[in-house]
Amino acid sequence: ELRDLPREVFAADPTSVCQAPNTEVLYRCRKCRRALFRSSSVLPHTEGGGPAAFAHKRVTESAQLCSDGREKCTSYFTEPVQWMEPALLGVMEGQLLCPKCTAKLGSFSWRGEQCSCGRWVTPAFQIHKSRVDEARTLPLGNCQAAET
């Protein structure tokens, strides 16, 4: 059982870290605007086989032919962030809720989850793109902590 994880496993919570001006994107909860993670915490993965990877779910042939140019990946897979720690300890999978407003952001599974593009990601800390907003930082004269 996972009862205690080393601090090095977790990415820093963006609300507690002072960020120097750069091109890094900050992702915020769409409901309450709380900073959740930075673009450096997003784990890239190669695109999977698309609908063919979901054959066990009996995807219809018409759905396989539908290629309207939409982005295949509908979620961000991130490294675990400090605010996730209470939800992760002692369980193998569960929901990821905003630490401020408790809105559902996504889910996690130490066993892994399948991305909407068909790729299997292990372990998976999945945040739905529709639940967060991108906030690009502007260079400021002095360094200030992000709002909570």
pLDDT at 66: 44
Instruction: State which residues form the domain around 19.
Output: 12-46+72-136
Q: Considering the domain boundaries, does residue 65 fall inside one?
A: no
Q: Which two tokens stand for residue 85?
A: 């720690």
The tally of CA atoms less than 13 A away on the side-chain side of residue 2 is 15
Q: Where are the beta strands (DSSP E) in the chain?
A: 25-29, 35-38, 75-77, 93-97, 104-109, 113-114, 120-121, 124-128, 132-136
Q: Considering the domain boundaries, does residue 113 fall inside one?
A: yes
Q: Considering the domain boundaries, does residue 39 fall inside one?
A: yes
pLDDT at 148: 43
Work out the end-to-end distance of the chain between its first and last CA atoms, rounded to an integer number of angstroms: 31
pLDDT tens, N- to C-terminus, the chain (148 residues): 445 656 666 777 777 655 555 668 999 999 999 999 999 999 999 887 766 655 655 555 444 444 555 568 999 999 999 899 888 888 999 999 999 999 999 999 999 999 998 899 999 999 999 999 998 866 655 555 444 4
pLDDT at 11: 74
Sequence-separated (6 or more) residues with CB below 8 Å from residue 124: 77, 107, 108, 109, 111, 112, 113
pLDDT at 56: 58
pLDDT at 104: 97
Q: Considering the domain boundaries, does residue 99 fall inside one?
A: yes
Which CATH number does the domain housing residue 16 bear?
2.170.150.20
Q: Considering the domain boundaries, does residue 118 fall inside one?
A: yes
Q: Considering the domain boundaries, does residue 121 fall inside one?
A: yes
Q: Considering the domain boundaries, does residue 146 fall inside one?
A: no
Q: How many structural domains is the chain composed of?
A: 1
Q: Which two tokens stand for residue 135?
A: 């906030």
